[in-house]
Amino acid sequence: MKIISYNVNGIRAALKKGFDNWLKEENPDIVCIQELKAMADQIEPFYKDLGYELYTETAEKKGYSGVAILTKIKPKHIEYGCGNPLYDSEGRVIRADFEDFSVMSVYMPSGTSGDIRQDFKYDWLDFFYQYANGLTKDIPNLIISGDYNIAHTAIDIHNPVSNKKSSGFLPEEREWLSKFIESGFIDSFRRFNTDPHHYSWWSYRANSRANNKGWRIDYHMTTSPMQSRLTSASILPSAHHSDHCPIVLEID
């Protein structure tokens, strides 16, 4: 089974860049989308002909944030949001429960616009740590896929020294991600690949993508009981529909 996570930076913009044709060729079973930036009725039903159902959790503010799950497998249940109105108003969490595992699409806040949003991000991280770990008591086989807006270690960012005071690579954020993993989650990409220079996001500035000056901030985090089912994980930098690229997880 192939699961893809992709921050598309606007589904309508991505479709204009051939997202639907790419999706047909890649043919994943499940796709977790972040930064949908559209209401459900604004999205053309391109996915129907490809055999998917689309489930969305959108932000109250039009053209902002939003997450979705495309799936060829009928879920038992869809959980819209995380039960916290502060975050659900921004469309940050959606979860699909299947027979023997669950998949969550999550878009974690960015703090790059200033101190107010950085503080919002820290509050979110505190909340999400408790929320995710609480879920694992009832959902032991859980995959949390999405844009975490944090590069974890020095090999996950092109220039760790100059970015040590940048939101997304701050010590407190990196420590949180370490704590999250230590609480019982697996960074699936690092389970299979420990090499540097693998990134999932690049700035639009200074020809960053062509020079591979990026950050790895998108993850398929899985609970520990899923470990024996993980068969491969990869990043697809050749897909150019966004400032992010897709990440792939394959499971038995």
Catalytic residues: 147
CA-based max dimension of the chain: 47
Alpha-carbon gap, residue 91 to 107, rounded angstroms: 8
